[in-house]
Amino acid sequence: MWSLPDPLPSLHLPPLPEKHLLLSTAMSFAAAALLLRDLVPGYLSSRIRRLTTVISNNLTVVIDESDGLTANQMFHAANLYLAHKLSQSTARVKVLKPEKEEDLDVTVDQHQELVDSFGGAKMKWSLSSNPNFTPAYSTSGFTVGLQPSEIRFFELTFHKKHRELVLGSYLPHILAAAKSIREVKKTVKLYAIDYRGDNEHWGAVNFHHPATFETVAMDPGLKKALIADLDAFIERKDFYRKVGKAWKRGYLLYGPPGTGKSSLVAAMANYLKFDVYDLNFKEVYGDSHLHKLLIGAGNRSILVMEDFDRALASKKNDDKISMAGLLNFVDGLWSSCVEEKILVFTTNHKEELDPALLRPGRVDVQVNMSYCTFTAFKTLAYNYLEETEHELFGEIKELLGKVEATPAEVAGELLKSKNVDVALHGVVKLLRSKEGTRSPAAVEENGLLFPEERSVERKNTWNTFQYNGYE
């Protein structure tokens, strides 16, 4: 018969010193924490962290990336703000190189705690994510499963006594700081309607047009007035809200082809650092589509409708875009869906536009882009040849007072040679070839018509600036 063996003799070990016991306990706690991190799902561990704040003196503010439909501006502002708070001691960072950007995008990585201070208060930031599953569809439109994704969120932890400081001052400070950072590093984009499958949206490329207000051939007084109008628009957000108007402004650029309308739009975009949305009416198939495109265009942007008269004429037969729908797009309920937006209409024939479009609130500023004057020529001569004075300037000034030549034609001659004499003789030859071809039509200035017999300087104005000022 089998019998159980005698019990093993007891081992009598000396008790651990107190400091060794504390070290052992700490190591066990650390091991448990690591195990918990690996075994407990992210959403549960985040709930555990939130539970600990309930029994402590800390308060945690959760800032989700979106609400499921629209992006959370606070999240993206915090992400940009914290990226500029990264220091040499930060253990982990996330680096991206967007395809259409020139610089690296360095941001906060998940589970990397960052500490900030504001008003004497200590702020702890941490980026986390929760798993998310969205339906995946086949090409036939049937659900075929769930597609994994994640919802990111920031956790901002601070002492409860700083609640009002954080909500009332710190978070607004982050929004303002992020806006400044964004403006400094922003690359202006050019958007066009882009179709992919059954959906349409705006596709973008970097906008590298070199035109600025320094290089655009405009009358100095007109240029100054236009810049002042743009500055006033940017600074008057509270004014627009106060009077109950959408924060937008409409400009009409009209005149012959080659007078610099597109260059002026580029100069405006580069001055404001606004994205440009090129709205081609041939790609718009109805009023509802037009409204969707308006909503899809971002804030702080210039929406350009080139050759507006021809676009409307091409739509008269099929009547896909109604005038009522267009006007509602310009200043109706749909226009209030955007902020800090500039609408630019261009046309070669202002007289063919519906007068209803030109009233204040729809078109606030009218700029007559006319033929080249001597002032405009001098700007072009400096841009292309770095020349401010030349013996041929007098003859060119006299010829520009007699003939109609666009800035584009003059620039084309200046571009032909680096030799100053050769280039300027080319301009003289161009202008002489146009003698006797001036159109007898009157030229509009400041909203009035000046007949042919009035002074050449006023009649041949290169730009005319007519605007409806702020009340």
The string of DSSP codes covering 287-344 is HHHHHHHHHHSPSSEEEEE-SHHHHHHHTTTT--S-HHHHHHHHHSGGGGG-SSEEEE
Question: 238 and 169: one domain?
Answer: no
Please give the pLDDT value at position 18: 52
Best CA proximity match to 372, nearest among 427, 315, 290, 326: 427
- Diameter of the chain measured on Cα atoms: 137
- Claim to verify: residue 389 and residue 325 sit in the same structural domain: no
Q: Token match 């941490």: residue?
A: 126
Place of tokens 């109604």: 322
Task: Give residue 176's pLDDT.
Answer: 92
For residues 412, 413, 417, 422, the Cα torsion angle rounded to the nearest 10 degrees is: 180
Q: Is 115 found in the same domain as 178?
A: yes
DSSP 8-state assignment for residue 167: I
Residue 459 counted as domain residue: yes
In sequence order, the 6+-apart residues with CB closer than 8 A to the CB of 97 are: 104, 105
Same domain, 208 and 262: yes
CA distances from residue 416 to 100, 403, 425, 428 in whole angstroms, order as listed: 33, 21, 11, 13
pLDDT given at position 444? 39
Check whether residue 212 and residue 228 sit in a common domain.
Answer: yes
pLDDT tens for the 471 residues of the chain, in order:
444 445 444 445 455 455 444 445 545 554 554 444 444 444 455 555 555 555 678 999 999 988 766 678 899 899 889 888 876 666 677 777 666 566 666 777 887 888 999 999 999 999 988 876 656 555 555 555 566 667 889 999 999 999 999 999 999 999 999 988 887 777 888 998 876 644 457 888 888 899 999 999 888 888 899 999 999 999 988 888 888 888 889 899 998 888 899 999 999 999 999 999 998 887 877 777 777 787 778 888 999 988 776 655 554 555 566 666 677 767 766 556 667 889 999 988 888 887 877 877 788 899 988 899 899 999 999 999 999 999 999 999 999 999 999 999 999 999 999 999 999 999 999 999 998 776 544 333 433 232 232 333 333 334 455 554 443
Same domain (yes/no): 422, 441:
yes
Rounded CA Rg of the chain: 33
| C-alpha triplet 426, 427, 431: angle, nearest 5° | 120
pLDDT at 197: 45
Query: For residue 189, is it within any domain?
Result: no
Predicted local confidence at residue 40, as pLDDT: 47
Q: What is the CATH number of the domain that holds 326?
A: 3.40.50.300
Range of the domain at 258: 203-369
| pLDDT (0 to 100) of residue 448 | 27
Contacts of 43 (CB under 8 A, 6+ apart): 130, 131
Residues 383 and 359 in one domain: no
Q: Cβ(375)–Cβ(462) under 8 Å?
A: yes
pLDDT of res. 451: 28
Last residue of a domain, one of 369, 402, 423: 369
Residues 311 and 435 in one domain: no
Q: What is the pLDDT of residue 450?
A: 27
Q: Is residue 25 one of the residues assigned to a domain?
A: no
459: its two tokens: 């009649």
What ranges make up the beta strands (E) of 120-266?
121-137, 143-159, 189-196, 199-206, 248-254
| Residue 28 placed within a domain | no
In a domain, 265, yes or no: yes
Is beta strand 199-206 parallel, antiparallel or unpaired with respect to 448-450? unpaired
Q: 1 lies in a domain?
A: no
Q: Are residues 271 and 313 in the same domain?
A: yes
Give the domain-ending residue among 315, 338, 369. 369
Residue 8 within any structural domain of the chain: no
Return d(Cα 262, Cα 371) in angstroms, integer: 15
Q: Are residues 220 and 312 in the same domain?
A: yes
Q: Are residues 418 and 324 in the same domain?
A: no
pLDDT at position 177 = 92
What are the start-end ranges of the E strands in 18-97?
Answer: 58-64, 93-96
364 lies in the same domain as 386: no
The pLDDT assigned to 111 comes to 79
> Does 396 map to a domain?
yes
- The pLDDT value recorded for residue 232 is 93
Nearest-10 crossing angle of helices 407-414, 374-385: 30
Q: Are 231 and 213 in contact (CB under 8 A)?
A: no
Residue environment code for 281-296, b if the CB has 16+ CB neighbours within 10 A, otherwise e? beebeebebbbebbee
Residue at a domain's end among 182, 214, 233: 182
Q: How many domains does the chain have?
A: 3
Question: What is the pLDDT, as a whole number, of residue 145?
Answer: 59
